[in-house]
């Protein structure tokens, strides 16, 4: 499983904490940017991570911006993306189990680094439950 990461300036510091965790746990990942805390526009990073996941090069993505909303909204413009705003471990696990979310969007200005790592851990260790959730997932694209 290869993981893509992306954030704007607001998520930059927390992204480093997530990277430390991924390194420690031996995950295969790539940081697509931003590469500094200099101000940048969240849609640029959202489209970068969405293209990366949608292409199949990465199985899952972790994205961050101040509220998590901007990067989440922009990524969800991509047909193959199911990006979920995750602010708790339970929400993150359910996003994988029920929604087959392929990007976990973190609200960096509203959670701690420790919470972010726990949320990422829950997201990466959960899987889609199929069954009735598969039927619902298939109805997500514009019909
Ligand atoms: C940047 O200041 C902030 O607007 C951005 O990180 C995010 O919260 C947008 O949704």
Which tens digit of pLDDT belongs to each residue from 59-117?
Answer: 999 999 999 999 999 999 999 999 999 999 999 999 999 999 999 999 999 999 999 99
3-state secondary structure of 107: strand
Cα-to-chain-centroid distance, residue 17 = 14
| Distance from C-alpha of 69 to C-alpha of 71, rounded to nearest angstrom | 6
What local confidence, expressed as pLDDT, does residue 101 receive?
98
For residue 19, how far is its CA from the centre of ligand 1 (angstroms)?
20
Position 51 scores a pLDDT of 98
User: Taking phi first (over 0 means left), then psi (-120 to 50 degrees means alpha), and beta for anything else, what does residue 4 get?
Assistant: beta
Per-residue pLDDT, 59 = 98
Q: Hey, whose CA ends up nearest to atom 4 of ligand 1?
A: 66
pLDDT, tens only, 19-39: 999 999 999 999 999 999 999
With a threshold of 0.85, does the pTM exceed it?
yes
Q: Is 65 a catalytic residue?
A: yes
In tens, the pLDDT along 34-69 reads 999 999 999 999 999 999 999 999 999 999 999 999
Residue 66, burial from CB neighbour count under 10 angstroms (0-12, 13-18, 19+): middle
CATH topology of domain 2-137: Ribose 5-phosphate Isomerase B; Chain: A, (3.40.1400)
From 120, 82, 130, 125, select the one nearest 103 (Cα to Cα).
82
Minimal-distance CA residue to ligand 1 atom 10 = 70
Domain boundaries, the chain: 2-137
């Amino acid at each position: 499983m290869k993981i893509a990461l992306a954030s704007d300036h607001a998520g930059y510091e927390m992204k480093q904490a997530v990277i430390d965790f991924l390194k420690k746990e031996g995950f295969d990942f790539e940081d697509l940017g931003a590469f500094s805390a200099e101000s940048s526009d969240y849609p640029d990073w959202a489209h970068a991570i969405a293209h990366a996941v949608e292409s199949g090069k990465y199985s899952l993505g972790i994205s961050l911006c101040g509220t998590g909303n901007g990067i989440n909204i922009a990524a969800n413009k991509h047909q193959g993306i199911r990006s979920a705003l995750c602010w708790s471990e339970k929400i993150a696990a359910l996003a994988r189990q029920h929604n087959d979310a392929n990007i976990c969007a973190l609200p960096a200005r509203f959670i701690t680094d420790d919470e972010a790592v726990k949320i990422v851990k829950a997201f990466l260790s959960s899987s889609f439950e199929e069954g009735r959730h598969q039927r619902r997932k298939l109805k997500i694209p514009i019909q």
